[in-house]
Amino acid sequence: MVRNDTKPLRTAAGIALFLALILSAVTAWALIGSRGAGDAGMRIQTVLAEALALALLLCVLWLFLLVRGLADGRSAAEPKPTAAPAPAIQPAAPPKPIHTASEPGSEALMLLSLLQEKGRFVDFVMDDIAAYTNEQVGAAARVVHQGCREVIIEAFAPLPVAPIENARMTLEPGYDAGEFRLVGRVSASPPFTVKVTHKGWRARHVKLPRSIKADKIPENPIIVPAEVAA
């Protein structure tokens, strides 16, 4: 990975060095051409010095990358130490990353496909609800409830923030405003005496399925494929 990344960098450094050398040649030529003009000469000298300094810096960088590249190449070519006498079990493969970096939105898309696959969530939302009786909607809701519940519990294992609704409680100074959303007529400062109107939910864990491949999300991505029976 590292060597693959540095290769273009080395090329860029080489090109920059080349450009810097041309630049210094051009400015030197300009300097010679304008000999005698005091102020301008001073200015051009400064530019030349800067260009040379830059060239030197790039040169050093390029040399460094070159040397490192050679060293990498050598270490790759070096023979591996011979295997120890057959261990009881095969040596571990180099650990491969289990978590792949995913495209923004891909986890949300995956959760949505799960909710559809297990709980027919998209079917439920996209169906025309006005055309059916409450009984039909209710029967369908059971399907959605059973499947989506499984997905949500697996992914988040929700548990309440406040234990009992409609109970009174006191929020002491320094309470976590992320845990309790204060609504209604609020006095100037805590402690607040409040009634729990909704117990809130928190996730015991966040365990979302991950994408096997870190591909870009295509245009109009698939939520669930159309199913065709053979």
Write out the residues near another protein by the rule CB under 8 A. Answer: 87-93, 95-98, 100, 110, 113-114, 117, 120, 123-124, 126-129, 131-132, 135-137, 139-140, 142-144, 146, 154, 207-213, 227
Task: Kindly tell me which of 131 and 183 has the beta carbon lying closer to another protein.
Answer: 131
Burial of 210 (0-12, 13-18, 19+ CB in 10 A): middle
Task: Kindly tell me which of 19 and 107 has the beta carbon lying closer to another protein.
Answer: 107
CA distance linking residue 143 with residue 139, whole number of Å: 7
| Shortest Å, Cβ 102 to another protein | 11
CA distance linking residue 87 with residue 84, whole number of Å: 7
CA distance linking residue 65 with residue 4, whole number of Å: 12
How does 5-27 read in b/e, with b if 16+ C-beta sit within 10 Å? ebeeebeebeebbeebeebbeeb
| Shortest Å, Cβ 1 to another protein | 16
| Shortest Å, Cβ 7 to another protein | 25
Q: Return the half-sphere exposure (C-beta side, CA atoms, 13 A cut-off) of residue 154.
A: 12
| Shortest Å, Cβ 73 to another protein | 24
Task: Kindly tell me which of 31 and 155 has the beta carbon lying closer to another protein.
Answer: 155
Task: Kindly tell me which of 6 and 211 has the beta carbon lying closer to another protein.
Answer: 211
